[in-house]
Amino acid sequence: MSGVLKAEAASFALPGAVLVDRVDLSIAQGELVAIVGPNGAGKSTLLRMLSGDLRPTSGTVSLDGRALADYSPRTLAARRAMLAQHTTVSFPFSVEEIVAMGADIDPRKAAPLFDAALRDVGLDQFRHRNITTLSGGEQQRAHFARILVQLWSGEADTGPGLLLLDEPTSSLDIRHQLDLAETARRCARRGTTVIAILHDLNLAARFADRIIVLSGGRVAADGAPAAVLRHELIAEVFDVALTVNTDRAGQPFVLPELADARRSAAHA
């Protein structure tokens, strides 16, 4: 199977530290991938390499068989959209203006696109609000809407694209986390490849077709949620005590345990 997005022995090293170490990945069109791993495992660095923003210090990353370094920023932006972890805006742009930045097209033509994106993130009542006055979660959703507009207006020209999300749910409540996951799944059903860094293993299990576990800059596991979320692997990679169970639908879920809670349970 030929991957749309391919990393071959891709590494990223700073003097004295290897952040991502010879990662091989092949991600097919329409796949829904979650990247999980402990802090400092190199998740963001890997995602930034997959986005083309960071060049691997050795190895290659390619999209449709062409190295990312050979794309112009503009051509690449029409094929992939990326939501960064934090985007701070220090000017009073309205939500609508932020969303409009996603599309390099006539705003009148893009109006249906904006409406759909604002509806998907639940900000259609906020379109004239000043983004600097919104809460962190609302700002994150506004930027997600901008990314959706970029993705969709690119896909209208060049076919299914690539959606990269760096901890998209970090400041969202559970309702909006699920909304975002559903929006991403809808994109994937239309052929978009989605890759998201997630901290919540349960959300990753619900959300993704495939989970990649990163540890110390290397891929520790890669596969379907049920195959990856195994007790020994997760306990070792994250260095925690936990229980992995399956729900009625056969989906795995994870219950973390506190060390002292376990100890007192043992005494009782």
Examine residue 170 and tell whether it contacts other proteins (CB under 8 A): no
**Closer residue to other proteins (CB): 109 or 262:** 109
Name the residue nearer to other proteins (CB basis): 171 or 202.
171
108 is an interface residue for other proteins by CB under 8 A: no
Which residues make beta-bridge pairs with 70?
Answer: none
For residue 166, the cross-strand partners are 197
153 binds other proteins (CB under 8 A): no
Which residue in 60, 94, 202, 251 binds other proteins (CB under 8 A)? Answer: 94
For other proteins, which is the closer residue by CB, 5 or 221?
5
Least separation in angstroms between CB 240 and other proteins: 31
Sole window of 28-36, 83-91, 239-247, 256-264 interacting with other proteins (rule: CB under 8 A) = 83-91
Binding positions for other proteins, 2-31, rule CB under 8 A: none
Residue 163 binds to other proteins (criterion: CB under 8 A): no
The answer to whether residues 196 and 34 touch, using CB atoms and an 8 Å cutoff, is yes
Number of residues that bind other proteins (CB under 8 A): 36
Q: Which is nearer to other proteins, 43 or 48 (CB)?
A: 48
Distances (CA, A) of 223 to 80, 196, 229, 267: 23, 15, 9, 38
Q: Measured from the CB of residue 17, what is the shortest distance to other proteins in angstroms?
A: 15
Least separation in angstroms between residue 235's CB and other proteins is: 34
Selected from 19, 33, 46, 97, the binder of other proteins by CB under 8 A is: 97
Residue 175 lies near other proteins (rule: CB under 8 A) = no
Residue 135 contacts other proteins per CB under 8 A: no
Q: Interface with other proteins by CB under 8 A: which range of 32-40, 82-90, 108-116, 200-208?
A: 82-90
Handedness of CA 14, 164, 218, 64 (dihedral sign): negative
164: left (phi over 0), alpha (psi -120 to 50) or beta: beta
| Contacts with other proteins, 46-75, as mask; x by CB under 8 A | --x--xxx------------------xxxx
CB of residue 92 to other proteins, shortest distance in Å: 6
What is the contact surface with other proteins in residues (CB under 8 A)?
48, 51-53, 72-78, 80-82, 84, 87-94, 97, 101-102, 104, 126-130, 132-133, 143, 150
